[in-house]
Amino acid sequence: MRTNVVIVGGGPSGLLLSRLLSVDGIDNIVLEKQSEEHVIGRIRAGVLENGTIEMLEKAGVSDRLKNEGFNHDGIQLSFKNHGFRINLKQLTNKHVTVYGQTEVTKDLYKKIKKENGIIINNAKDVLPQAIDTDKPCVTFKKNGVEKKIMCDLVAGCDGFHGISRSIIPKSIIKTYERTYPFGWLGILSETPPVSDELIYANHGNGFALASMRNENLSRYYIQTSLDEKIENWSDKKFWDELKKRLPTEASDTIITGSSIEKSIAPLRSFVCEPMSWEKLFLVGDAAHIVPPTGAKGLNLAVSDVYYLHNALKNYYKFHTNYDLKMYSNNALSRVWKSIRFSWWMTTTFHKFPDQSSFDQRIQDSEIEYLENSVASQRVLAENYVGLPY
């Protein structure tokens, strides 16, 4: 087989890149190690920035999003059980849209298949090879048979644990990491959301987040120790603890019910530099991880797709590789700004194991200042709705 670009990884970033390249007439093949059913069945959050919406519109997959997504003009913040609102729309003239990452992935799969794009699912032992030569290729196994795709370039969209990043020589790559000493215990419940907007809560017991999937499906999180076990958290224990941490108005009105999904996720910040080497370009979680506090994970992957898609379009249409050479620098500039914002949200709203009463009062003061400073609110709002590409 032969194509222009092999995309390793069939998650939302790989699928979006594939679709945008196809719109521009650039041949590509997506290799995904899991089945389509597995990929679209993964439960993920979905707070989308304006820039992400625009990219999905370019890809022709925004119809269902516009009909079913929930536009949020603000977010709610809380400390000491007291809540206040950040008016994103008023501060930035932008909003965010709640639409599950799972739904984005479904929309992309449907569109790509309808337009006869090539996605090879259940591709095992995927391996980019000869990346530093004029004849790069990607080998893989399908139904036990080894196959090879010759190509010009490879996009590594295969996540933190994927093969792509390991292809870059250790002498070239440098990584930066912060592992946080806590996790998020999250539940999904078939109950109406307690608020029309997300609630981020700082509390002496730890962080809490009230989110949603739709009008009858709610997603709630509380900060827990990494040593916690799911089986130690009954639904009643979870709801009782969540109520302690949310603002009083929300605690008094929340509707509880049986959980239909429950999990604990660790939090980390991670960046690798550079995000490209020779004919290989990393995208999304293959190059960086952000804690979910600032809702940046998927949006940051989409901004990588923006830079790489433009670079590839200029390479094939105008025969210039300048933007390909600048891809890593351009992407990393925005990556680090998002890493900083997610770090700030995480350190401001979570309780750390060694946190003293002084540290708690500093957090309280930080959030109280935010409540009463329009300038401070604007900084938060600009970052939350998404910095420009």
Write out the catalytic residue numbers.
72, 200, 292, 296, 384
Q: Which amino acid is at 299?
A: N
SS3 label, residue 162: coil
Give the residue ranges of DSSP H helices in 146-292: 164-167, 235-245, 248-253
Residue 361: enclosing H or E segment and its boundaries? helix 357-372
Separation of alpha carbons 284 and 167, rounded Å: 16
How many residues in total does the chain contain?
A: 389
Rounded to whole angstroms, what are the CA distances from 197 to 77, 200, 218, 324, 349?
10, 10, 11, 39, 17
Q: Contacts for 70-75 with beta carbons within 8 Å, 24 or more apart?
A: 70/97, 70/98, 70/99, 70/212, 70/214, 71/95, 71/96, 71/97, 72/47, 72/96, 72/97, 72/98, 72/196, 72/197, 72/198, 73/197, 74/197, 75/197, 75/198, 75/199, 75/200, 75/384
Separation of alpha carbons 58 and 247, rounded Å: 39
SS3 label, residue 176: strand
Of 156, 155, 63, the closest CA to residue 106 belongs to: 63
Beta bridge partners of 48: 97
- Yes or no: say if 199 and 250 are a contact pair by the CB < 8 Å rule: yes
Pairing mode, if any, of strands 208-214 and 217-224? antiparallel
